[in-house]
Amino acid sequence: MSRARSSSRYSSYSRYSFFPPRKSKGERIADADKKIKALAKKGVTLSPVTLEGSKIAKTFWGKAWCDNIESYRDYAYRLERGRSYVRSNSIIDLVIGAGTIKAQVMGSDLYKVAVTVKPVPAARWKTIRKVCAGKIGSLIELLRGHISEEVMAVMTAHKTGLFPSPSEIAFTCSCPDSATMCKHVAAAMYGIGHRLDTHPELLFLLRGVDTADLLASAATAPLTAGEPADGETLAADELADVFGVEMDDQPAAAPSATKRPRGRPKKAQAATQAAPPAKRPRGRPKKTQAATQAAPPAKRPRGRPKKG
């Protein structure tokens, strides 16, 4: 007796028949936006991954991360679905820390993803530092990806570079999918690449290494030497991201330059107010007058001859 065909779109995959049908990109975008607004009303602070256009990553570090995960066959099966979720802005929260990534991905429900990444082994980091010694001029150049092909090659090398291999990555998801890497984890992995576009320093934090180890002694020279050779300049928000400080829109020297002239006239006024000591000459004539008034004792010799 043949089994009647189910009307479910997942009839050929009976163990997945409990999954709801796929949603369109527009539906996923609307669901994610609705969830973000609902959590915002509750005072929950989120860091969503929002794409502008179809490209997930545009900078050196972001592209290098995505190229790295795509180069491993372990991840090939699920990455396509992950890209679809990222382009639908389904990652409503992504936080990268030291060796950890935590994400919330909106699917048929809101799922929580946790990824752990092992730190770069000390011996490998030592080799990377040795190759890069004296070849990276500044922190700005490093984070912008303005590095030589030699440095780029050692940074992106499989299993020996800065980017993690599958054996160094572990992940979990709260969804019911039993696959090694579900689409929500894949989305989070791509979300990391997008986040590195704007915050490349997080890659070094994630891998447990210090960017200062790669810099030359004159690391701050490009910041004071003027405009970079290619004509690019850093905005205030970029400097805030790099150095962890808030930068004013106007140069810091401008306010101090305007305040000093205001202070100097006050000192001049103080000097004029201190002028009263100049009145002492007026007091001296009074002393001379007093001396002249005290002159009568000099008339005594005239009186003595009269007594004789």
Which sequence spans correspond to the domains of the chain? 21-240
Query: What's the DSSP call for residue 51?
Result: -
Q: Please, what is the angle between helix 60-70 and helix 183-198, to 10°? A: 160
Whether residue 123 contacts residue 232, with contact meaning beta carbons closer than 8 Å, is answered with no
Residue partners of 249: CB distance under 8 A and separation at least 6? 236
Residue partners of 215: CB distance under 8 A and separation at least 6? 136, 138, 139, 142
- Each residue's pLDDT, cut to its tens digit, for the chain (308 residues) gives 333 433 434 344 444 445 566 777 788 889 899 999 999 999 999 999 999 888 999 999 999 999 999 988 777 777 888 999 999 999 999 999 999 999 999 998 999 999 999 999 999 999 999 988 888 888 888 999 888 898 999 999 988 999 999 999 999 999 998 887 899 999 999 999 999 999 999 999 999 999 988 885 334 334 433 333 333 334 445 544 444 434 344 334 444 444 455 555 554 444 444 445 555 555 555 444 444 444 455 555 555 555 44
| DSSP class per residue in 292-304 | HHT-GGGGHHHHH
Residue 267's pLDDT is 47
Residue 5's pLDDT is 38
Whether residue 56 contacts residue 83, with contact meaning beta carbons closer than 8 Å, is answered with yes
Torsion angle of alpha carbons 65, 68, 72, 75, nearest 10°? Answer: 10
Write out the H or E segment, with its range, that includes residue 123: helix 122-132
Q: How far is CA 142 from the centre of its chain?
A: 14
Specify the pTM.
0.64
Please give the Cα distance from 255 to 257 (Å, whole number). 5
Residue 277, Ramachandran bin (φ over 0: left; ψ between -120 and 50: alpha; else beta): alpha
Residue 133's pLDDT is 86
Please give the Cα distance from 43 to 301 (Å, whole number). 106
Whether residue 239 contacts residue 245, with contact meaning beta carbons closer than 8 Å, is answered with yes
**Half-sphere exposure at residue 148, Cβ-oriented, CA atoms within 13 angstroms:** 10
Collapsed DSSP state (helix, strand, coil) of residue 267: helix
Please give the Cα distance from 86 to 78 (Å, whole number). 13
